[in-house]
């Protein structure tokens, strides 16, 4: 008996690949800036109190102000034997 073997190429469907997991979401922090100002409280033409104020601003990814904060007084701290808020 004479047997002849032939080879052929099969162009069938490709092997199915398992679905890839979704990329993890990354939350980027928003840029923040701080502004400081010194405020003088004046009564009858005389300075009665001087205070430091701060404002915290939030920016978008391009640097434009997204959320403008309000001015708040910075608490004064006396540093000595025992730290205390004045």
User: pLDDT of 23-73, one tens digit each?
Assistant: 888 888 889 999 999 999 999 999 999 999 999 999 988 889 999 999 999
pTM of the shown model? 0.54
- Asked if the model's pLDDT at residue 76 lies above 80, the reply is yes
Eight-state DSSP code of residue 21 = P
Read off the pLDDT of each residue in 11-24 and give the average, rounded to a whole number.
77
Contacts of 27 (CB under 8 A, 6+ apart): none
In angstroms, the CA 10 to CA 81 distance is 88
pLDDT for the residue 40: 93
Q: Which residues contact 65 (CB under 8 A, 6 or more apart)?
A: 57, 58, 59
- 41 and 48 in contact (C-beta within 8 Å)? yes
Provide the pLDDT for residue 42: 92
Give Rg (Cα) of the chain: 35
């Amino acid at each position: 008996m004479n047997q002849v073997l032939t080879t052929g190429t099969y162009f069938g469907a490709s092997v199915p690949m398992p679905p890839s997991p979704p990329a993890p979401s990354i939350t980027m922090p928003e840029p923040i800036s701080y502004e400081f100002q010194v405020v003088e409280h004046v009564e009858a033409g005389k300075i009665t109190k001087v205070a430091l104020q701060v404002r915290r601003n939030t920016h978008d990814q391009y640097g434009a102000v997204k959320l403008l904060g309000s001015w708040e007084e910075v608490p004064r701290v006396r540093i000595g034997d025992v730290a205390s808020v004045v």
